[in-house]
Amino acid sequence: MGTEAGSGNGAGAGGQPPPPPRDPRDPRAVRTGAFPGAFPIGPAISFLRRLRAGLDAGRDLPVALAEAGGTLPRDLRVALDRLLHRLAGDYQEDEWGFDEEFADALLPFLEFLYDRWWRVETIGARNVPSHGRALLVANHAGILPWDATMISVGMLREHPLPRYPRFLVLDWAFQLPYVSVAMRKLGGVVASPYNALRLLEQDELVAVFPEGVKGAGKQFKERYRLQRFGRGGFVELALRTGSPIVPVAVVGSEEIYPKLGEAPVMARLLGAPYFPLTPTFPWLGGLGTVPLPSRWRIEFAEPIDTARFGPDAAEDRSFVFELSEQVRETIQNKVYENLVARGSAFF
């Protein structure tokens, strides 16, 4: 269809110096080129010219697009191709609605937050089993689940055999437009023990935040103190499925939204679990949801093997509480250790 000759034209059309050689195995090589910041003007114009020529010659739009597409740089063509495939419904979602391609597309943005905004340091990613079921148990702070996304990015960046963790999200989020879709596409599921059980039985990596709303809504002055770990439901799940528990300590998420107070009337009006008041929210509107650039540390602690206790141990209340408390203490200690290691919160 003349696309071979077209791509030759495209290479010369921009007249730019040749790009620095890139490692072809680097998965980011394709992504960065497709980013709007690097949009090539020259090829775009020749693309539009050829598209118009094709349409004037009486071709169908898809055919004309195909012919004109040859003038574009390869990166852009690949990205555009993926977009068109998605528009035709040609993409994969698993039974939970997790959309890996969508998550990958969002990764450059999350990596920006990880590297530049929060300057996250991840320690002990190797403690996460590289295959099979496992339960990540983390402390929770900051009103939006940024900590969950940073744990994901930390896993993907630092683990030798990375995989996306699935995380349990407060069910309120699933009533919201857009938020609910983004959550499920990124691997979030409704915080229900049935969901967690099914995911673990499917040998997935599941992240839970046992502090729940109490953690997300804690006051700024008690930001480093872990709240009660619910009823220890996550321990029961781990025991029943024989999944190792990996305690995760996140330091830095406590400062992104310093919560000064609450507006219970607003919370009731919106049906939200609580309505936070921070120095910027809701005073600055949407701008108030921009998290502060604190410095973060994420530590994955040694996994706790639960398989040796057997599934019947899940029935033993006192044992469940004991193990839950042990996990809580591990995380609390790691939070304090990492606070010291981090130094200043913002610089």
Partner 1 sequence: MRSRRVLITGVGSFLGTEIARRLETDPEIDYLAGMDERPPRARLERMDFIEADIRNPVIAKLIPQAEVDTIVHNKIVRRPGPGMSARSAHDINVIGSLQLLAACEKADTLRAIVVRGSAGVYGSEPAAPQFFTEEMARRYPLRTRFQRDVAEIENYFDTFSRRHPQVVCTMLRYQPSIGPSLDSQITRYLSQPLVPTYLGFDPRLQFVHEADAIDALVAAIKNPVRGPVNVAAPGTIGLTRMVRMAGRPTLPLLPGLFGTVTDAGRRVGMHSISPDFRRLLRYGRGIDITRLVEEVGYTPRHSTVDAVEDYVRTQRGRRLVPVFREAVAR
User: How many CB atoms are closer than 10 A to CB 51?
Assistant: 18
Residue nearer to partner 1 on the CB measure, 66 or 339: 66
**How far apart are CB 94 and partner 1 at their closest, in Å?**
8
Q: How far is CA 112 from the centre of its chain?
A: 12
Residue nearer to partner 1 on the CB measure, 190 or 250: 190
In this structure, which amino acid lies at residue 221? K
The half-sphere exposure of 52 on its side-chain side, counting CA atoms within 13 A, is 5
Residue nearer to partner 1 on the CB measure, 171 or 222: 171
Residue nearer to partner 1 on the CB measure, 87 or 340: 87
**Phi, psi angle pair for 284, to nearest 5°:** -95, 10
Q: Give the three-state DSSP class for 218.
A: coil
Distance CA 311, CA 260 (A): 43
**How far apart are CB 56 and partner 1 at their closest, in Å?**
18
Q: How far is CA 249 from the centre of its chain?
A: 17
Residue nearer to partner 1 on the CB measure, 78 or 345: 78
Q: Are 172 and 273 in contact (CB under 8 A)?
A: yes
Residue nearer to partner 1 on the CB measure, 96 or 275: 96
Distance CA 168, CA 94 (A): 16
Distance CA 22, CA 41 (A): 22
Q: Are strands 166-169 and 205-208 parallel, antiparallel or unpaired?
A: parallel
Tokens 């995760």 belong to residue: 248
**How far apart are CB 93 and partner 1 at their closest, in Å?**
5
**How far apart are CB 78 and partner 1 at their closest, in Å?**
6
**How far apart are CB 211 and partner 1 at their closest, in Å?**
19
Residue nearer to partner 1 on the CB measure, 65 or 292: 65
Beta strand spans in 24-144 (E) = 121-123, 134-138
**How far apart are CB 5 and partner 1 at their closest, in Å?**
12
Binding residues for partner 1 (CB under 8 A) = 1, 3, 60-63, 65-66, 69-70, 72, 77-78, 80-81, 84-91, 93-97, 99, 171-172, 174-178, 180-181, 184, 189-190, 192, 194-195, 198
Beta strand spans in 120-193 (E) = 121-123, 134-138, 166-169, 188-190
Residue nearer to partner 1 on the CB measure, 96 or 296: 96
- Pair of tokens at residue 118: 């929060």
Q: Are 39 and 16 in contact (CB under 8 A)?
A: no
**How far apart are CB 81 and partner 1 at their closest, in Å?**
3
**How far apart are CB 43 and partner 1 at their closest, in Å?**
13
Residue nearer to partner 1 on the CB measure, 97 or 230: 97
Q: Are 225 and 237 in contact (CB under 8 A)?
A: no
Instruction: Please list the residues that pair with 134 across neighbouring strands.
Output: 205
**How far apart are CB 66 and partner 1 at their closest, in Å?**
5
Sort 181 into a burial class: Cβ within 10 Å, 0-12 / 13-18 / 19+.
Answer: middle
